[in-house]
Amino acid sequence: MPGARYAERDRAEEDAFCRIDFHSGSHALCPKLFSTSPGTLVYDVTSGPYAGRAAAFESEVCTRTHGIAHDAADEPLSYKMSVNTRETSATFANASLVYYHYARYFDAAVHVPPAVLRTMDRRAHLARVSRPGAAASATVPALKLNHAAWTALSQAEADPASYTPTDELFVADRSQVYGVLLHPRGRRYGEEVNGSRASGWGDGQSRDFQQTPPFVALATNRPLTEAIDEGLARGHLHTAVPTSVRREQMAFWMRELVDVVLLDFLFSQQDRIGNIDYLSYWYWVEDGQVRRMAAQGAHAPDEIARHSPKLLRRTELGDNDAGVRTSYVNYTQRTGMLERVRHMAPASYRQLIALDRDFAARGPLYEYTRTSFGLSGPELAQIVSNTAKAARILRESCRAGRLRFDLDPEAYLRDGRVAEARLDCDAP
């Protein structure tokens, strides 16, 4: 994507996902028998007790609801296709591609996993995944929506003309289904980030989300340290976050939640609350530089212990498939989240203003978005409109002096403070 920043690991994951052969016996495909959507779990069986025996894994292991990972070489990848009917939950696979590339365009602090487009013979997917998924979920009351989705997908793969819109699920000649392949790795946050959800789904839980410590801090028009104090005082902070790292943790959360709110506003996400995850890292300062290492437990490795590292959670958005489609409800927009933001990273603001100008001029970013994600005309128009609204909201906040450009969590970790940047509110 023009203007986007991709890491080497992003490219490596894309390449690895595209090299997987669904039919060689190296990977087993299992129906996801939890939650509500009909995802396919892709397991590497190149080693272990089922090495090279994908068919045996699928027939003997896939319909278990627990312990599958112990029989495979690693955690599964997630292969998701679009399924949207009156009886099912919302799943629009293309949205995961949009989120991935736009997260790199905004150089987001929140991590969005790389995603690639993959196709598969519809009859093969029907036989190996959809029919077994429908059968296994049929007798489990808690899987009512999951079963409805597997039933709908089974019917569509048997008869593509029965699903509308057909091109949301199938390639042009209807021989293959398409979806996105990605590897979400995060664990689910509790109330400290996802909110209490006490007020019910939709508008209610979106307002509960705005009472979390990091969002209260984001909505506080005071210098960063004072805003953090306000968030800690008024928001509910889960006891799993140690007192010794709460300020640093809040600085990272504030930076990440701005990304969450902005991306969800642009792409009309309707199912974010309760679906925000995290990964754990050790952070320390060495020779004046902030460094980090993935954390495998609660005790720092010996090689970094002398630096007194801090164990921090970094936010991941691995579940992004209830966005972009025009039938979805934009709860971020409906509950006024972006209007309440009082802190932002300078680069995020500049990228948004540049994106809005490019869209207005039908420039390279507009063309990339139009041609790269399989979007309909109304879906593209909605993204353009949402971008204009977001730019207007934040530009007005900036002009009114309500927006502080001070979200630099690494500087806060290193120095205990952040110098506010001054921006021209109208210049990208």
Residue extents of the structural domains in the chain: 8-182, 187-415
For residue 68, pLDDT beyond 70: no
For residue 334, pLDDT beyond 50: yes
Q: How large is the average pLDDT for residues 211-225? A: 96
At 189, is the pLDDT very low, low, confident or very high (cuts 50, 70, 90)?
very high
- Assessment of whether the complete model's pTM goes beyond 0.75: yes
Short-list 402, 391, 393, CA closest to 342: 402
Q: How large is the average pLDDT for residues 136-143? A: 92
pLDDT, one tens digit per residue, over 388-426 is 999 999 999 999 999 999 999 999 999 999 999 999 999
Please answer whether residues 404 and 330 qualify as being in contact, where contact means their C-beta atoms are separated by less than 8 angstroms.
Answer: no
pLDDT, one tens digit per residue, over 348-381 is 999 999 999 999 999 999 999 999 999 999 999 9
Please answer whether residues 130 and 154 qualify as being in contact, where contact means their C-beta atoms are separated by less than 8 angstroms.
Answer: yes
For residue 24, pLDDT beyond 50: yes
What's residue 72's pLDDT? 76
At 427, is the pLDDT very low, low, confident or very high (cuts 50, 70, 90)?
confident
Hey, what are 144's tokens? 């009512």
- Is the dihedral angle over the CA atoms 87, 92, 135, 170 positive or is it negative? positive
What's residue 65's pLDDT? 57
| C-alpha pair distances (Å), 133 with each of 38, 116, 146, 150 | 8, 23, 9, 6
Please answer whether residues 158 and 150 qualify as being in contact, where contact means their C-beta atoms are separated by less than 8 angstroms.
Answer: no
Give strand ranges (E) for 86-220.
Answer: 115-121, 176-182, 187-188
Helix-strand-coil percent breakdown of the chain, rounded to 5? Answer: 45, 15, 40
pLDDT, one tens digit per residue, over 393-403 is 999 999 999 99
Give the mean pLDDT of the chain: 95
What's residue 63's pLDDT? 81
- Is the dihedral angle over the CA atoms 354, 96, 216, 107 positive or is it negative? negative
pLDDT, one tens digit per residue, over 235-293 is 877 666 778 889 999 999 999 999 999 999 999 999 999 999 999 999 999 999 999 99
Hey, what are 300's tokens? 């720092």
What's residue 67's pLDDT? 45
Please answer whether residues 151 and 46 qualify as being in contact, where contact means their C-beta atoms are separated by less than 8 angstroms.
Answer: no
The percent of residues in the chain predicted with pLDDT above 70, rounded, is: 97
d(CA 196, CA 208): 6
What's residue 240's pLDDT? 64
What's residue 241's pLDDT? 77
Q: How far is CA 223 from the centre of its chain?
A: 29
What's residue 238's pLDDT? 65
What's residue 220's pLDDT? 97
Hey, what are 374's tokens? 């399989």
Give strand ranges (E) for 208-342.
Answer: 277-286, 289-294, 310-316
Q: How large is the average pLDDT for residues 307-331? A: 97
